[in-house]
Amino acid sequence: MSPDLQAQMKDLADAVRLHRYRYYVLDQPTVSDAEYDALEKELRDLEAAHPDLADPNSPTRRVGAPPVESFEKVRHRTPLYSLDNAYTDEDLEAWYARVLKASDQQPVALVGEIKVDGLSLALTYEQRNLVLAVTRGDGEVGEDVTENARTIVDIPLTLPGSAPDLVEVRGEVFLSRVRWEELNRARDAKGEPRFANPRNAASGTMKLLDSREVAARRLQFLPWQWVGEQDHFEAMERLVTWGFAAMPERMEGAGLGRVREFLERVGGRREGLGFDLDGVVLKVRSHELQQRLGFTDRAPRWAIAYKFPATQATTTVLGITWQVGRTGKLTPVAELEAVDVAGSTVRRATLHNADELARLGLRVGSRVFIEKGGDVIPKVVSLVPGEEGDGPLPEIPVACPVCAGPVGKDDDAEVAIRCLNPECPAKLAARLLHFGSRVALDIEGMGDALVEQLVASQRFRQPWEVLGLLDDAMQGTAYLAGLERMAEKSAQNLMAALDAARTKPLARWLHALGIPMVGARTAELLAEAYQDLESLWSATEDQLQAVEEVGPKVAGAVRAFRDLHPDLPDHLAALGVAPVAPPPVDRSALPLAGQIAVVTGTLPTFSREEAEALLKRLGAKVSSSVSPKTTVLVAGEKAGSKLAKAEALAIPVRDEAWLRAQGGS
């Protein structure tokens, strides 16, 4: 044995350890990745050449060691207890009353911690070296998973010289949600079953016999106990100075008021922590009082777990239906046997799209894990292994469940399938919103809330039918005023806006109709060419194609729309609408004639499209980039390089108020 070599290896190991600490814990590396890799390789090579000198806690062990055949059983020095649970404030009060009694009604210092949803692990350090890591097992006897534990970067392999000779630290091994999702994606790709939740994934990982695979999964560790005589709070502080991770949320103090605040805080931040927690744990801080309180046969009396309502449950799929969204997108939905999740009854869960459905292999009769987090709609996470069901696999619809129209993909790159029928009633809401939008007929007040109700009333099949409300017989004002969130006054305003829409120019009407492929610009060109709807409706495809910028696709779309609504001109006329193109204007007389304008940044109320449309109506040409020819820049908030460029070129910069003033509003 060469003492020189051994010293050299130890120095190398120390250096690697230090750099890892700076990199992973402090996030402040002081060497490049390449330099670090070189150091680690040197150490690894020496260890390979001199296995007898290799330290089992060498930092190279982080990447795992050759597989073992099975795990040894190990008896815990003291049993790993479970925790008693509290679900309500009364439960907490009852626990606190018992604690107060043991302290002769003296205020009791408490510590609050999060309850990480993972698996417990007991770490033993002898002479400041990690020698043993044991799973919980049945609480008395667990399994020796030391090699696996060595790969977890949050677990220090050695402790500083100030640490006692024997230290036992207990804590939770877990996987972040991001890593869990990555892992599931990789398993999907390999056709392997998914892990239902991060906890299953973490425990599956700790059971792997090959620690090199464990290393790749990047588990985390959070300590929650230093077994011994210490004050709990100080003990946890000390562990952090030794390189253990700190509880991301923690409370220290006396009284249930603080505890309730803590519960609320953690409840609110729960989603943002990046890993699953199933509650918080409250502990008596003083070791002396802990001893006085002691244990029941299964749990310490000096601690209690306050559980949040579970966000996962298992249930059975009763059916699979397809929902058609506003844009015609078809989403598969699992109809479920009712089950309680996070305090509410869940009967349906989204399956996102057909690919997801196929990937899950879901059928009627499958048992599934469902999950509900925060405010999101419940989703199906995975099948319960062994209970996949044997019903037929669901079929992907070939017809829209709402209108029976054809379905397909807009383009091949898209995952979602859509109803291709532009007139599908499911799309009415989106069409109505467009119809009333500022770029179309500018019907003030026709927002989401109103449109939702108009659609629900089933009185309208086409957007323009809302103008029927102006018919005396329909008593439009009374009808509108009767809707939710509509007062008499706003109903009257809306009626006035509908009335004003009747006389809007043809171009706006053409745009508002929602003819596929006809945007504001094409609508303008068509309006200019045909002057009224009647003439446009009688044009052939060839004639349409003669219009500037109109190709076969647009011409085809206009014709198809006309064939769906051959009577539209008459129909609109009956509603008091006979849109015409305004007589050609002398553009040189417009307020912004001769100007070349660019819009940038976020304007207070106009969208970019609206501002550009207004500029054009006022006679300006609109360009997308600033050049020496630009005569005005309309800038809003967060304007970037265009503003800088305009300033450099001494081009006048204006705001939305200026633009409105030009338009006379």
Least Å distance, CB 34 to Zn ion, is 58
| Candidate segments 66-74, 114-122, 237-245, 657-665, binder of ligand AMP by CB under 6 A | 114-122
Distance CA 90, CA 78 (A): 31
Q: What is the spatial distance between Cα 17 and Cα 218, in angstroms, rounded to a whole number?
A: 17
Does residue 286 interact with ligand AMP by CB under 6 A?
Answer: no
Residue from 62, 115, 150, 511 binding ligand AMP (CB under 6 A): 115
Spatial contact of 284 and 110, defined as CB atoms under 8 Å apart? yes
* Beta carbons of 363 and 317 less than 8 angstroms apart: yes
**Extended strands (E) in 288-355:** 303-307, 312-324, 329-341, 344-350
Whether 379 is a known active-site residue: answer no
Q: How near is the Cβ of 427 to Zn ion at its closest, in Å?
A: 7
Between the two ends of the chain, the Cα-to-Cα distance in Å is 92
Q: Does 116 bind ligand AMP (CB under 6 A)?
A: yes
Strand partners, 158: 129
Residue 82 CB, shortest distance to ligand AMP, in Å, is 3
Q: Which one is catalytic: 10, 101, 115, 629? A: 115
| Minimal distance, residue 380 CB to ligand AMP, in Å | 25
Based on the shown chain and the rule CB under 6 A, indicate whether residue 281 belongs to the binding site for ligand AMP.
yes
Using the contact rule CB under 6 A, the part of the chain among 76-84, 143-151, 267-275, 620-628 near ligand AMP is 76-84
Nearer to ligand AMP, 280 or 651 (CB): 280
Q: Does 46 bind Zn ion (CB under 5 A)?
A: no
> Are 402 and 386 a contacting pair, CB within 8 Å?
no
Q: Does 57 bind ligand AMP (CB under 6 A)?
A: no
To ligand AMP, the closest distance from the beta carbon of 647 in angstroms equals 56
57-116: contacts with Zn ion (CB under 5 A): none
Among 402, 430, 497, 596, binds Zn ion (CB under 5 A): 402
Distance of closest approach, residue 146 Cβ to ligand AMP, in angstroms: 18
Q: Which region among 24-32, 109-117, 166-174, 393-401 touches Zn ion (by CB under 5 A)? A: 393-401
From Zn ion, ligand AMP, none, which one binds at residue 172 (CB under 5 to 8 Å depending on kind)? ligand AMP
If you search the block for the tokens 């690697």, which residue do you land on?
16
Binding-site partner at residue 659 among ligand AMP, Zn ion, none, CB < 5 to 8 Å by type? none
From the list Zn ion, ligand AMP, none, which binds 113 (C-beta under 5 to 8 Å, kind-based)? ligand AMP
- List the interface residues with ligand AMP, window 124-163 (CB under 6 A): 136
Scanning 104-112, 404-412, 448-456, 485-493 for contacts with Zn ion by CB under 5 A, the matching segment is 404-412
> What is the arrangement of strands in the sheet containing 129-135, beginning at the earlier edge strand?
129-135, 119-126, 166-174, 220-226
CA dist., res. 1 & res. 620, Å (int): 88
Residue 227 in contact with ligand AMP, rule: CB under 6 A: no
Q: How far is the CB of 193 from ligand AMP (least distance, A)?
A: 24
* Long-range contacts of the stretch 412-420 (C-beta < 8 A, 24+): 415/353, 415/354, 415/355, 416/329, 416/330, 416/331, 416/353, 417/329, 417/330, 417/353, 417/354, 418/327, 418/328, 418/329, 418/330, 419/324, 419/328, 419/330, 420/328
646 near Zn ion, judged by CB under 5 A: no
- Give CA–CA dist 216/211, Å, rounded: 9
Nearer to ligand AMP, 150 or 283 (CB): 283
Of 225 and 366, the one with the shorter C-beta distance to ligand AMP is 225
- Should residue 168 be labelled a site residue for ligand AMP when binding is judged by CB under 6 A? no
Q: In the complex, what is the shortest distance from the CB of residue 235 to ligand AMP, in angstroms, rounded to a whole number? A: 12
Rounded to the nearest whole angstrom, what is the least distance from the CB of residue 83 to ligand AMP in the complex?
4
Q: If we measure between CA atoms, which residue out of 537, 563, 564, 541 comes closest to residue 552?
A: 541
> Applying CB under 6 A, which part among 110-118, 461-469, 495-503, 549-557 lies near ligand AMP?
110-118
Of 143, 147, 172, 612, the one binding ligand AMP (CB under 6 A) is 172
Query: Cα separation of 635 and 201, whole Å?
Result: 51
The DSSP element (H or E) to which 501 belongs, if any, is helix 488-502
Question: 54: which 2 tokens?
Answer: 């290799």
Determine the interface stretch with ligand AMP among 79-87, 431-439, 539-547, 640-648 (rule: CB under 6 A): 79-87
82 binds ligand AMP (CB under 6 A): yes
Determine the interface stretch with ligand AMP among 115-123, 268-276, 370-378, 533-541 (rule: CB under 6 A).
115-123
DSSP 424-449: -GGGHHHHHHHHHSTTTT--TT--HH
Q: How far apart are CA 493 and CA 487, in angstroms?
A: 10
Cβ-contact 43, 60 below 8 angstroms: yes
Cα–Cα distance measured from residue 58 to residue 394, given in angstroms and rounded to the nearest whole number: 53
Stretch that binds ligand AMP, among 92-100, 113-121, 175-183, 190-198 (CB under 6 A): 113-121
C-alpha separations of 26 from 21, 171, 273 in Å: 7, 21, 19
Of 232 and 434, CB closest to Zn ion: 434
Fill in the amino acid letter for 546: A
User: Counting contacts by CB under 6 A, is residue 83 touching ligand AMP?
Assistant: yes
Q: Which two tokens stand for residue 375?
A: 């405010």
Three-class DSSP category at 653? strand
Q: Say which entry of ligand AMP, Zn ion, none residue 524 contacts (CB below 5 to 8 A, set by partner kind).
A: none
- CB of 328: closest distance to Zn ion in angstroms? 6
Length of the chain: 665
Picked from Zn ion, ligand AMP, none, the partner binding residue 305 (CB below 5 to 8 A depending on kind) is: ligand AMP
Structure tokens at 479: 């009808």
CB of 320 to ligand AMP, least distance (A): 34
In this structure, are residues 275 and 177 in contact, taking their beta carbons and an 8 Å threshold?
A: yes
User: Are 598 and 623 in contact, with CB atoms under 8 Å apart?
Assistant: yes
Q: Are 132 and 139 in contact (CB under 8 A)?
A: no
6-10 own/partner pairs: CB under 8 Å, 24+ apart: 6/53, 8/46, 9/43, 9/46, 9/47, 9/50, 9/53, 9/54, 9/55, 9/58, 10/55
Does 120 interact with ligand AMP (rule: CB under 6 A)?
yes
Task: Return the number of the residue (354 or 620) whose C-beta is nearest Zn ion.
Answer: 354
Q: Can you name the residues that pair with 295 across neighbouring β-strands?
A: 300
If binding is defined by CB under 6 A, does position 113 make contact with ligand AMP?
yes
How many other C-beta atoms are found inside a 10 Å radius of the C-beta of residue 552? 11
Q: Which two tokens stand for residue 617?
A: 């109506």
The site for Zn ion, by CB under 5 A, has a size of 7
Among ligand AMP, Zn ion, none, partner that 405 touches (CB below 5 to 8 angstroms by kind): Zn ion
| C-beta closer to ligand AMP: residue 280 or 440 | 280
Instruction: Give me the amino acid identity at 462.
Output: Q
Report the distance separating Cα 538 and Cα 543, nearest Å. 10
Options 209, 403, 439, 560; binder of Zn ion; rule CB under 5 A: 403
Q: Does 224 bind ligand AMP (CB under 6 A)?
A: yes
Site residues for Zn ion, 417-446, by CB under 5 A, read 419, 421, 424
152, 227, 305, 533: residue in contact with ligand AMP (rule CB under 6 A): 305
Residues that bind Zn ion (CB under 5 A): 400, 402-403, 405, 419, 421, 424
Residues with a known catalytic role: 115
Give the interface with ligand AMP as residue ranges (CB under 6 A): 80, 82-83, 113, 115-116, 120, 136, 172, 224, 281, 305
